[in-house]
Amino acid sequence: MPKRNRGITGDAASRRETIRKRERRVVETEEERSRRLSTMAQRGQDRRGEETEEQRNSRLSDMAQRRQERRAVETEEQRKYFDYVNGTTWPGEKSRRNRRTKK
């Protein structure tokens, strides 16, 4: 027996909404874009202004955790590219530029 079509649910609806937002941003003027970004920044400042010390620490801890998770899945190629572009290394690593290979 075929499945009943229940309309757009979950991920599909979210994807369509994301596409609509992206299309709206494509046609917005510089002034509209500036206003939208300013509003977003103001909301973030308001939210951070009302948070407690504990909430702030939790938010920063979450950010650090996500950063660690992202770095854990970075490929060696991505790391090398990052070093090439920025002339830096990941925390805790010795500089790759000054490494000497044993012969």
Contact 98, 87 (CB under 8 A): no
Q: Which residue has the higher pLDDT, 13 or 10?
A: 13
Least confident of 17-21, 29-33, 91-95: 91-95
3 state DSSP class of 51: coil
The pLDDT of residue 35 is 93
What's the mean per-residue pLDDT of the chain?
80
Could you read off the pLDDT of 35-83 as tens digits, one per residue? 989 999 999 899 888 889 999 999 999 999 998 888 888 788 887 888 8
Contact 62, 69 (CB under 8 A): no
Threshold 0.75, pTM exceeds: no
